[in-house]
Amino acid sequence: MTIDPRLEDQLRQGFKVFNRFMLIMWRLGLGPMLNMGPALAGRYMVITHTGRKSGKKRRTPVNYALVDDEVYCTAGFGSVSDWYRNIIANPQVEVWLPDGWWAGIAEEVTHPEARLPLLRQVLIGSGFAALAAGVDPNKLTDEELDALTKDYRVIHIRRVAARTGKDGPGDLAWVWPVATMILLPLAFFRRKGGCRCKGKCRC
């Protein structure tokens, strides 16, 4: 996709901030809730991939689509996307989906006849994100969509095994009961103390 470099940089920076927020939501156990309004808000999953240089585990929220129960996503900024370059170097990944946590193998879809219809479904599943990049997958013809998304990469995540244990989605869900234990007593004592100034102040 050819867009103004300044706009592209703004989009990249904006998505970086948004992705941090989405990852925290998934770690707090709110991932399924993020997928309740896909028509506008989009569908989101998290890919855990391995840094091609560092060897460290990285997590990236991305939009996705299920087609015949298979998982597809796209690298909208093309081959410069770090997560895309990582999964090409090491295709063994994990994905957090609303229905669970899976180990999988990432495979790029390159066949033209398969790529474009799958890409359209992923972009439809992205909600506002595709529109923010200037792509309306519901209105563009195949020729128009193909011309606008030449740099996009379509990825198939082939799920191979369900995962359980620590370090998966909801690994920070313990925050909720701890916060409740702290905030409820504070709210109770604050309410019990009340205001003792008999209407002479504005508390």
Count of other CB atoms within 10 angstroms of residue 99:
9
What's the whole-number mean pLDDT along residues 186-197? Answer: 63
Whether residue 38 is predicted with pLDDT greater than 90 in this model: the reply is no
* DSSP 8-state code for residue 79: G
Whether residue 191 is predicted with pLDDT greater than 60 in this model: the reply is yes
Position with higher pLDDT, 19 vs 177: 19
Domain ranges of the chain: 5-174
What torsion, rounded to 10 degrees, do the Cα atoms 103, 111, 124, 7 define?
100
The predicted-structure confidence for 148-162, as pLDDT tens digits, reads as follows 999 999 999 999 999
* DSSP 8-state code for residue 166: S
Q: Using alpha carbons only, what angle is made at residue 35 by residues 90 and 152, rounded to the nearest 5 degrees?
A: 45
Contact status, residue 62 vs residue 47, Cβ threshold 8 Å: yes
CATH superfamily to which 5-174 belongs: Electron Transport, Fmn-binding Protein; Chain A (2.30.110.10)
Contact status, residue 154 vs residue 71, Cβ threshold 8 Å: no
pLDDT value of residue 42: 84
Structural element, H or E, at residue 32: helix 31-34
The predicted-structure confidence for 48-84, as pLDDT tens digits, reads as follows 999 999 999 999 999 999 999 999 999 988 888 999 9
Q: Using alpha carbons only, what angle is made at residue 13 by residues 10 and 168, rounded to the nearest 5 degrees?
A: 150
- Cβ-proximal residues to 89 (8 Å cutoff; 6+ apart), any chain: 50, 52
d(CA 124, CA 83) in angstroms, rounded, equals 21
Mean pLDDT of the chain, nearest integer: 86
Helix, strand, or coil (residue 11) = helix
Q: Using alpha carbons only, what angle is made at residue 42 by residues 20 and 110, rounded to the nearest 5 degrees?
A: 90
d(CA 22, CA 57) in angstroms, rounded, equals 17
pTM score of the predicted model: 0.81
d(CA 75, CA 152) in angstroms, rounded, equals 6
Amino acid at residue number 200: K
The predicted-structure confidence for 93-142, as pLDDT tens digits, reads as follows 999 999 999 999 999 999 989 999 999 999 999 988 888 888 999 999 99
